[in-house]
Structure 1
Amino acid sequence: MSNKTNDIYRAVWRWHFYAGLIAIPFLISLAVTGGLYLFKDEIDRWLYADMMRVQAQENVMVSPQVQRDAALASVDGEAFRYVPPPNAELASEVDVRRPDGTQVAVFVDPYSGEVTGDMPYRGSVMWIVRQLHSLNFFGANASMIIEIVGGWTILLVLTGLYLWWPRGRRGGVMSVRGKPGKRVFWRDLHAVTGVFVGGFILFLAITGMPWSTVWGSKVNELANGHNFGYPDGVRVNVPMSDARLAENAETAWSLEQAQLPTSADSTSPSIGLDRAVATFDDLGLAPGYAVSLPSGPDGVYTGSIYPDDLSRQRVVHLDQYSGEPLLDMRYADYGPLGRGLEWGINVHMGQQYGLANQLILALACAGIVLLCVSSGVMWWKRRPAGRLGVPPAPSDPRRLRGVLALLAIGGVIFPLVGASMIVMAMVDALVRRQGTKQALA
């Protein structure tokens, strides 16, 4: 290996090491929580089977209004959301806001109208896992960390690919040498695992970016047109409220900024929940849709469904007095960027391709954990006693600057990542200066 090639290798290795320091602790957490969340429905319905599952019957279900009344008789408050049973063996869900502001999910047997149980709204184990995965437990600004980690993860994979590149070698490229007691075993295990998992890591990092604070919000505006959330040409000429769809219902990423229309005539009686559900059924919303109830005199009934099959994704707003659709929007109505981003998100969540999607990503998550563990063991066996063990700097500092200039391209695309790279470059300069002083001492 020439001096120039060796210097470039050292520069890339050094930044690969820094990327690992930043990303690996979060990658383990993201892989474990993400792997679990792939099976959110299966796990929740198993854990809460006593309240979520019912005995399928041939007799007709009681009306949604009766189910709502049963829930309000069990929990004092105001219903704000109703979820018809997705299939014949599942209970309905009525979400209630108590007078003190707390929210409760009440489950009702749709055949008998009896309450089967309740729990805090969005209080299931898998919702907690989702909050851990997104770092929402740590405040609204924690998603900035996810954006930074996502960018460094992309850097980690690209630099790792460069380090793995065979360059005439055969050992440790697609096979693992040695035994677990040897560092070469962990080095090869890390490299080979990275080759198989690296593409999945890139995909998950990129498709996870839409949820980030800075980059995600800006792309959301670009994808949806003028900050309304509705694709151009789909918005209808009806009054819009200041309320956002994401405030009232779980929604697709592309519609988080969508404004709700307002009902026109407040002098007529509301159509009621029964007629609203019947209208949504007549319109052909896919099973599993949720109904957000009007939040006031100007509010609307919103039926929304975000199923595994993106082609059936749909949002319909009904005027609460006339029952007429104010907006009926499907996945096909999104622009090309919105459709592409939604596809990436759906695959990221293990939904688009059914069980195969779940199992493949679950294996990828297991591979990510193995990759992180092997890197830790490899570093521990390599590091000098009492020192961090940063890879040696290239003899020519210009090689580091050259690698950093290439990384800056990604920093422009992801501003938070770029800012963190500047900080890391300053830290690296201090580390090299300190190393030079120690060598001269």
Structure 2
Amino acid sequence: MSTAATDQRSKPAAVTAASRSYRTLWRWHFYAGLFVMPFLVVLAVTGTLYCFQPQIEPLLYPHRLVVEPRDVPRLAEDTLLANAHRALPVGSVATTARISSRADRSAEFIFRLPDGEKQSIYLNPYDGTVLGTLSVEQRFMQIDRMVHRKLLLGKPGELLMELVACWTLIMIGTGVALWWPRAGTTLRGALVPRFTLRGRPLWKSMHAALGIWLAAGALAFVVTGLPWTGSWGKHFKSLSSSVNLGSPPGSWGGLPLRSKLPGGAPQHAAVPGNETNSQQIHESREPAMDSMPGMTMDDLPLPQVPWAAGAATVPQSQDAGSAIWTLGRVVAQMRALGLPGGYDIALPASASGVYTASYFPADPKLERTVYIDQYSGAILKHIRYGDYGAVGKAVSYGTSLHMGRYFGLANQIVCAVLSLGLATLAVTGCVMWWKRRPAGTLGAPARDRAVAPMRGWKLVLVLLGAVFPLMGVTLIAVWLADRMLFGGPLQPLAE
């Protein structure tokens, strides 16, 4: 038998194998896209809005957040906090102080009201006038953030969005594989939409070209967002910390869990002008468990915490003399450390609690977490970027890029383009499916009886399922459903 004849017979076999592989990839891309599409639009819109939070919030709440700069010193933080406390119902407990150095921004304190609601109160920093209040949970950007993270559905929603992120990895991988130029297709032709086409071929051309241009950015979005998820992200952080690659090594070590207060009676840092005595404040905070032995930074009432510091256990205040450290003195300490503003302080929530200052700037290298004894003012721990493990450092940079903060407005625009581009991909994919879908059917791509081996693809799925167990369970479920519900003969569908 001649070599030429052998080559001629091998070509159809190779074409058949390639066609089967293409169909298998297309089928998985279809399932991933069908699940991801509606949530991808939600993630894109909410993520874009949250990215522009610094510009949007002052427009939404100008009378609370924005003040007219004055050529006079700002009032002391202790005075402002006392004014805020007097303006709220009796029994309200201050949990957080937001320290700003901008001359045109109001002073903000977060309180827990007697009914359990968390409320921000805003004051003019120059004369102490109360400008208004906002519910922490009901403000627009907080709702947007909770929709982005968990669809306002609590833990089930958080797990669902984590699954969406994981399945987006499959959608991206299969999409790139389907796009990869085949015989007779030039690279330029695969990268540029063919606007001379009409109908579904035009939608497919636009979808494929846009998808490949966005693939790297979409992959970066998923990878940098996963460490913040409620299930996998939490375990990933714990694992990274246990091997000294995440949180700073020993960031919680060597400190007693409880302290004996001066005079043997429970006390709390007093606020000048606050008529509520310290014993009442202490008792009102104790049930909330805002400061208990073994608590981590992620448990504190702080709007934002650096990822690498989130798993660090919060130390407890030490024995000291009769002096009580005030918020104003903490702010002065932070100023001496080179931080004039732009950070949050979690106030001591129990007799052994500490002041916890969290600085979460756009540049990860400047991140700081400082624990200060509420009685002596001693700095119990000062965590900087250099103290993070390798994974913690990488996640810090990924977070800053993911949120559009690292290189200013340009970063925000890049994130918006990527997010809205992903939403466009979801829409074009939906249009393609609807145009191809036979009436009364799901419209899944046909599967050949003789399935191509595709060992590499199967290995990737196994690895993804092992790294992301929740995703692994759904992969098996989809595979079984595909065999049981859609295992019969299917009519071939146009690509």
Smaller-chain TM-score bracket: over 0.9
> Aligned residue for 1:131?
146
Aligned equivalent of 1:89: 104
TM-score by structure 1 length? 0.94
Q: Given residue 312 of structure 1, which amino acid in structure 2 is its aligned partner?
A: L
Tell me which residue corresponds to 2:468. Answer: 414
In the alignment, is the contact (CA less than 8 A) between 1:266 and 1:297 conserved in 2?
Answer: no
- Structure 1 contact 236–326 (Cα < 8 Å) conserved: no
Query: Quick one: structure 1 residues 19 and 265, their matched pair in 2 at CA, closer, same or farther if it must change by over 3 Å?
Result: same
Measured on the aligned residues, the alpha-carbon RMSD in Å equals 2.2
Indicate which of 283, 295, 300 corresponds to 1:243: 295
Offset of residue 235 of structure 1: 4.2
CA distance in 2: counterparts of 1:418 and 1:230, whole angstroms: 28
Deviations 1:48-94 (A, max 9, x none): 11110011112111110110011112112121211122411101101
Query: Match of 2:261?
Result: none
Matches within 5 A, 1:73-84: 73-76=86-89, 77-84=92-99
**What 5-or-longer segments of structure 2 have no aligned partner?**
1-13, 258-292
CA contact (8 A) 1:289 1:306 kept: yes
Q: Scaled by the length of structure 2, what TM-score is found? A: 0.84
User: Are residues 1:289 and 2:339 paired?
Assistant: no
Instruction: Indicate which of 229, 232, 238 corresponds to 1:221.
Output: 238
Deviations 1:290-311 (A, max 9, x none): 1111111101111111011111
Q: In structure 2, what is the equivalent of residue 10 of structure 1?
A: 23
* 1:159 counterpart (168, 174, 190): 174
1:32 aligns with 2:84: no
- Aligned equivalents of 1:208 and 1:79: distance in 2? 31
4+ residue segments displaced more than 3 Å: 178-181, 226-230, 233-236, 398-406
The change in CA–CA distance for 1:50 and 1:216 in structure 2 (over 3 A counts) is same
Q: 1:304 to 1:278 in 2, by over 3 A?
A: same
Q: Could you tell me whether the CA contact under 8 Å between 2:447 and 2:490 is conserved in 1?
A: no
Task: Provide the C-alpha distance between the structure 2 equivalents of 1:279 and 1:110, rounded to a whole number of angstroms.
Answer: 19
Whichever residue aligns with residue 147 of structure 2, its letter is L
Give the aligned residue type for 1:169.
Answer: T
Structure showing greater radius of gyration is: 2
Cα deviation code 1:386-418 (max 9, x no counterpart): 211111113413547874443222111111111
Q: Which runs of 5+ in 1 are unaligned?
A: none
Structure 1 match to 2:390: 336
- 2:209 maps to which of 189, 192, 207: 192
Q: Deviations over 1:173-217 (max 9, x none)?
A: 122224685111100010010011111111111111112233212
Residue aligning to 2:329? 275
Distance 1:140 1:227, change over 3 A: farther
1:117 aligns with 2:132: yes
Q: Shift of residue 223 of structure 1?
A: 2.0
Q: Distance in 2 between matches of 1:227 and 1:215?
A: 18
Deviating more after overlay: 425-434 vs 148-157: 425-434
**Alpha-carbon distance in 2 for matches of 1:393, 1:151:** 24
Question: 1: distance between equivalents of 2:22 and 2:452?
Answer: 13
- In structure 1, C-alpha distance between the alignment counterparts of 2:130 and 2:422, rounded to whole Å: 42
Tell me the equivalent position of 1:367. Answer: 421
Q: How far apart, CA to CA, are the structure 2 residues paired with 1:148 and 1:292?
A: 32
User: 3-state DSSP class of the match of 2:446?
Assistant: coil
Report the residue type matching 1:209 in the other structure: L
Question: Which of 57, 65, 72 is the aligned partner of 1:52?
Answer: 65
Is the CA contact 1:229–1:258 (under 8 Å) kept in the aligned structure 2?
no
| CA distance 1:178–1:278, change in 2 (3 Å) | closer
Partner of 2:448: 394
Question: Aligned letter for 2:185?
Answer: R
CA distance in 2: counterparts of 1:400 and 1:144, whole angstroms: 30
State the AA in 2 paired with 1:6. S
Task: Quote the Cα distance in structure 2 between the aligned partners of 1:141 and 1:332.
Answer: 36
1:169 aligns with 2:182: no
Q: What is the identity percentage for the equivalent residue pairs of Structure 1 and Structure 2?
A: 34
Larger deviation, residues 237-246 vs 424-433: 237-246
Distance 1:245 1:161 in 2: 40
Counterpart position of 1:65: 78
